[in-house]
Amino acid sequence: MFIGDTLARRAIYTPDRLAVVDAGKAPRPHYTYRQMNERANRFANWLKTEVGVQRGDRIGIVAHDGVEFLDAFFACGKLGAILACYNWRMHWRELVQVVNDTTPKLLIFSDEFKDTIIQTQAEALSVTHTLHIEGEGISGSQCFETALQSGDPTPVSTETITEEDIVALIFTGGTTGLPKGAQISH
């Protein structure tokens, strides 16, 4: 079973059961499995149509924990894309190197990291789109929730994904240099 399928299955079996409470926001939004699956489908379809994300492409995120992480993770799981989770504590020069190594098409970020993203985007050639989670964002960025809601809620096919495909890169501490990306498969 693939990552995107697990959420879709939960949405079938327990659609109205509470899946997530985003405790980092006020008021605390609550999401059921049906809502989370719809959000993941919407975001996956938006990524596919607006950014051109396909199997094997990468999406980066620099943010504190929130429902947006799950939206991006499950959307990547549905598309066969890879979510690169960057440590928000990284210095912007480290982030530039890691972003250039992982070549994401899209960077998602929290507003408090916008200065870091501005510096990173100037040197990261692969990044063609940015989404801000809250606040005003940066020049050319779109609001994450607006992008997600504009996506088609139709389920996304995961036919070409294999169990060995990478779904996420989690970066470890760089004790001997730059942080290293640990590959998480389906």
> DSSP states of 110-171 as a string?
-GGGHHHHHHHHHH-TT--EEEESSSS--TT-EEHHHHHHHS--SPPP-TT--TTSEEEEEE
pLDDT of the residue at 1: 75
> What single DSSP character describes residue 31?
E
Task: Identify the weakest region by mean pLDDT among 25-39, 44-58, 100-114, 165-179.
Answer: 165-179
Alpha carbons 141 and 122: distance in angstroms, whole number: 14
Share of the chain above pLDDT 70, in %: 98
pLDDT digits (tens, 9 = 90+) for 79-138: 999 999 998 888 888 899 999 999 999 999 999 999 999 988 888 888 999 999 999 999
Domain housing 9: 3-185
In the chain, the largest separation of any two C-alpha atoms, in whole Å, equals 47
Alpha carbons 109 and 86: distance in angstroms, whole number: 10
Residues 81, 108: contact at Cβ < 8 Å?
no
Question: Could you give phi then psi for residue 43, rounded to 5 degrees?
Answer: -70, -40
Q: How many domains does the chain have?
A: 1
Tell me the mean pLDDT in the region 130-152. Answer: 96
Strand partners, 184: 168
pLDDT at 158 over 90: no
* Amino acid occupying residue 126: S
pLDDT of the residue at 99: 94
> Considering the entire predicted model, what is its pTM?
0.93
Is the torsion defined by CA of 179, 105, 54, 43 positive or negative?
Answer: positive
How deeply is 65 buried, as exposed, middle or buried, from its count of CB atoms within 10 A (0-12, 13-18, 19+)? exposed
Tell me the mean pLDDT in the region 1-10. Answer: 91
